[in-house]
Amino acid sequence: MALPNFKDRRKISELFRRGSISLFIVLLAITVGSLFIIVSGKNPLEFLVLSFKGAFGNLHALSNFIAKMIPLTFTGLAVAIAFRNHLFNIGMEGQLYLGALAATWMGITFGNLPAALLLPLIIICAFLAGALGGLIPGILKTKFNVHEAVSTLFLNYIFILFVGFLLYGPMKDPLAQVFPLSSYISHSARLPVLISGTNIHFGLIIAIGCVFIMNFILSNTTFGYKSKAIGSNPISSNYAGINVSKNIILILAISGGIAGLGGMSEICGFHHRLMEGFSPGYGFLGITVGILGRFHPLGVIFGAFLVSFLLAGTKAATYALEISAYFAYALAALVILFYFIFEYLRK
Amino acid sequence: MEVTDLMGTAVRLSTPILIAALGEIIVERAGMFNFGIEGIMLIAAFASFTTAFISNNIWLGLLAGVSSGILLGLIFAITAIKLKIHQGVCGITIWFLGLYLSSLLYDLFLFH
């Protein structure tokens, strides 16, 4: 079809409208946040200029900005898949760590395999490890009626502390004296850099690929339709003959697996070794990404763009003006609160 | 360490958990769950400490802690009940807002 028909055009204007609302919410949060800047005796306009410079000012800033978008796209996609079906998976942080753990373990243990074989294996393993983190709350929900928001929240601590335990003990690099770091993964386990001299790695292509694959699955397959039906009304879905338990477990496992891929891309593409606290809250920020993307797989890319601006640009400005580094995170929380109010006003 | 010391420490350490659990019980009896309790505690801790520190009066500090808790509880109630957002998501938002807002305010006003 050469020309977009009426329906497509309406779709595009709808996308544009949603995107501009998300953009407005972020700008509103920054405006309200400026009060804190004024209180601390700094100039908010200078802060805004420094934020834009910190995100897009030069090649280094831009590469940092895009590198931060990659894990945010993964965790945001994980949130979008679960939340749009009314499954409140908030264990992305733990699932991210599980994926990173699997990737590091594979990258160290099977380091002598060629990259063409090792990288797909690592991607599959990281996905499965993250999926395990989603499978457990899924089984708990369907078998024991435990609310998934509670179980994923507490599993976060279990997975993150488990990784910490491994880093202080069995996986600790013998050369690292003080800090709990693992050894470096082998060179064949590292994701290639797309543009030399920057941090932009192959994870970007995997992230965008995941977004389009999930968009296809959710909108064009029976699984996507079934999961949507379950999200709207599980009782009537069960009556209509959909296996509710199986689909709930599957959605949570896929959501966890994608968060696990985010951990893999951070380790194999950027850090090349596992360390405590390698994620500056990508799991939590994923909720902001998902909300700004309106829980739509394609919207997640735009949401990741906005949150990455907070994480890369605003954070650089807070360092330059010596404001607290928590400012960017407080803004990310304010964004969610404003979104709630907007949702209410829209109705 | 004496056994009595240990018991005394146990009582002291259980106090914040007990009071927080008491607050959560009220919510849960009404059929809700409030994840934001951690964030509410952090904001209230900041508010009561700052007030008590500036005014040199412990009771004013108590008042500030309780009122900031009421304010955040109100935000949770409005978003979850009036705005009809899922209570788990509201709670998480209150939690992170409390966590990062209290850290931010601490850095701005108390840390020199």
Q: What is this model's ipTM?
A: 0.82
Within a 10 A sphere around the Cβ of A82, how many other Cβ atoms? 31
CA A85 to CA A251: how far, in whole Å?
Answer: 8
Is A327 inside any structural domain? no
Residue B6 is part of which domain span? 1-31
Q: Are residues B24 and B41 in the same domain?
A: no
Tokens encoding A72: 């945010």
Cross-strand pairs, B36: none
How many domains would you assign to chain B? 2
Residue A246 is part of which domain span? 60-297
pLDDT value, residue B107: 84
CA distance B79 to chain A (A): 7
b or e along B10-38 (b: 16 or more beta carbons within 10 Å of the residue's beta carbon)?
A: eeeeeeeeeeeeeeeeebeeeebbbbbbb
Is A246 inside any structural domain? yes
pLDDT value, residue B112: 59
Residue A172 φ then ψ, to 5°: -70, 135
> How far, in whole angstroms, is CA B10 from its chain's centroid?
21
pLDDT value, residue A71: 93
CA distance A40 to chain B (A): 6
Q: Taking each helix axis as running N to C, give the angle between helix A59-83 and helix A44-56, from 0 to 180 degrees, rounded to the nearest 10.
A: 90
- Asked if A86 reaches chain B (Cβ–Cβ under 8 Å), the answer is yes
CA B68 to CA B71: how far, in whole Å?
Answer: 5
Is A322 inside any structural domain? no
Chain A residues with CB-CB distance to B97 below 8 A: 330, 333-334, 337
Taking CB atoms and an 8 Å limit, are A284 and B96 in contact across chains? Answer: yes
Q: Are residues B12 and B27 in the same domain?
A: yes
Q: Sign of the CA dihedral A16, A347, A224, A80?
A: positive
Is A291 inside any structural domain? yes
- Residues A153, A159, A160, A165, Cα dihedral to 10°: 150
Within a 10 A sphere around the Cβ of A139, how many other Cβ atoms? 17
Best probe of the A interface among B27, B42, B71, B92, by most A CBs < 10 A, is: B92
Q: What string of DSSP letters covers A208-235?
A: HHHHHHHHHHHHHSHHHHHHHHHHH-HH
Q: Sign of the CA dihedral A210, A278, A116, A111?
A: negative
Q: Are residues B18 and B73 in the same domain?
A: no
Q: Which of A36, A83, A337 sits opposite B93 (nearest CB)?
A: A337
Q: Which of A149, A333, A340 sits opposite B100 (nearest CB)?
A: A333
Q: Are residues B40 and B82 in the same domain?
A: yes
pLDDT value, residue A74: 94
SS3 B96: helix
Cβ atoms of A81 and A218 closer than 8 Å: yes
Is A330 inside any structural domain? no
User: Taking chain A (347 residues) in consecutive chunks of 10 residues, what is each chunk's mean pLDDT?
Assistant: 50 78 87 85 86 87 90 94 88 93 92 88 94 94 89 91 89 77 87 84 92 91 88 86 90 94 92 87 88 88 90 86 84 88 78
Is A7 inside any structural domain? no
Is A46 inside any structural domain? no
Is A11 inside any structural domain? no
Residue A191 φ then ψ, to 5°: -70, 135
Q: What is the 3-state secondary structure (H, E, C) of B21-74?
A: HHHHHHHHHCCCCCCCHHHHHHHHHHHHHHHHHHHCCHHHHHHHHHHHHHHHHH
Q: Can you tell me which residue has the tokens 């999200």?
A: A231
Q: Are residues B22 and B40 in the same domain?
A: no
Taking CB atoms and an 8 Å limit, are B97 and A149 in contact across chains? Answer: no
Cross-strand pairs, A201: A193
CA distance B105 to chain A (A): 8
How many domains would you assign to chain A? 1
CA B32 to CA B11: how far, in whole Å?
Answer: 28
Q: Are residues B37 and B12 in the same domain?
A: no
Q: Are residues B67 and B106 in the same domain?
A: yes
Q: Are residues B82 and B57 in the same domain?
A: yes
Q: Which residue, A192, A157, A231, is CA-closest to B38?
A: A157
Within a 10 A sphere around the Cβ of B107, how many other Cβ atoms? 19
Q: Which of B35, B99, B108 sits opposite A36 (nearest CB)?
A: B108
- Asked if A323 reaches chain B (Cβ–Cβ under 8 Å), the answer is yes
Residue A193 φ then ψ, to 5°: -80, 135
Q: Are residues B39 and B23 in the same domain?
A: no
Chain A residues with CB-CB distance to B35 below 8 A: 149, 153
SS3 A170: coil
Chain B residues with CB-CB distance to A340 below 8 A: 79, 83, 85, 90, 93
Q: Are residues B37 and B78 in the same domain?
A: yes
Q: Which residue, B53, B52, B37, is CA-closest to B93?
A: B37
Q: Are residues B49 and B102 in the same domain?
A: yes
Q: Which residue, A254, A316, A322, is CA-closest to A58?
A: A316
CA A78 to CA A156: how far, in whole Å?
Answer: 15
Q: What is the pLDDT of residues B38-96, one digit of tens each?
A: 999 999 999 999 999 999 999 999 999 999 999 999 989 888 888 888 888 888 889 88
CA A43 to CA A37: how far, in whole Å?
Answer: 7
Taking CB atoms and an 8 Å limit, are A329 and B88 in contact across chains? Answer: no
Q: Are residues B82 and B43 in the same domain?
A: yes
Angle A222-A224-A229 from CA coordinates, rounded to 5°: 90
